[in-house]
Structure 1
Amino acid sequence: MSKAIHVPEAPQFSLPFSHAVRAGDFVYVSGQVGVDPVTCQIVGQTIEEQTRQCLRNLEIILEAEGLTLDHVIKSNAFVSRPEDFPGYNKTYSEVFTKPYPARTTAPVAMGAYLVEIDVIAYSQAKRTID
């Protein structure tokens, strides 16, 4: 059985999706972009600013389920401009702690949104180094 999760503090868009879905011990969080959760306006014009805000929006949704970014086991990121990959990687590595989640990153044109990230979190444990 799965449960749709709606988080009033997270950015609200009039699109057909749930902020997240819990399926057993896993929480699948829909892609988030670098917008202010109250105004839904893009935060900053750099990949670093938008990545930081995007990750904060993911945190808001995870917190509603009692989780943190340390519970994330997989992330998928879409970056608008290939030249922004270094800035994205720098900010990602500043926000996530080691050991990093498994990850996919792909270039995808998204207009003014420079990055979108979705994650899968495992609620029973945080990432550890084996």
Structure 2
Amino acid sequence: MNQIETLNAPAAIGPYSQAIRHGDLLFVSGQLPLDPATGEFNSEDAAEQIRQCVKNIAAIAEAAGTSLKNTIKTTILTTELSRFAEINAAYGEFFTAPYPARATFEVSALPRGAKVEVEAIIAIA
């Protein structure tokens, strides 16, 4: 196992890694919509927040020598499932067919008051 870290994504806010590479798989921890340069949310809008989450995942993937196009599975957590259509549309801007497998869950709260969080499993290709 190898820990993956990059300054182009927010630092972990607890005792976990941004990502772990195990064999040909990259396991990316849940990414909050934090701008890595400021450590603050990029927006209060859920659609904008998911864009930042996926950008953070892309930066971690790049640091591991892969890219979003090799994403196998994602999980989206949101405190606003009523905004699913907007979240889904913003998420869809980053992926093309064949799309990754995905699960989406509504949760009561996320760290730092985020509206969305995204985790991913990405192949190292």
Q: TM-score range, shorter-chain basis?
A: over 0.9
Counterpart position of 1:110: 109
Matched, 1:25 2:32: no
Letter in 1 for 2:102: R
Q: Deviations over 1:14-73 (max 9, x none)?
A: 410111001000000000011111111111121111011110000010000111110100
* Identity between Structure 1 and Structure 2 (%): 37
Counterpart CA distance in 1 for 2:95 and 2:109 is 24
Counterpart CA distance in 2 for 1:47 and 1:8 is 24
Give the alignment's Cα RMSD to 1 decimal: 1.2
Contact kept, 8 Å, 2:7 with 2:36, in 1: the verdict is no
CA positional deviation for 1:13: 3.7
Unaligned segments of structure 2, at least 5 residues? none
Counterpart position of 2:42: 43
Counterpart CA distance in 2 for 1:93 and 1:83 is 17
Moved over 3 A (4+): none
Q: TM-score, normalised by structure 2?
A: 0.92
1:66-77 alignment to 2 at 5 Å?
Answer: 66-77=65-76
Larger Rg belongs to: 1
Unaligned segments of structure 1, at least 5 residues? 125-130
Counterpart CA distance in 1 for 2:30 and 2:50 is 12
Q: TM-score, normalised by structure 1?
A: 0.89
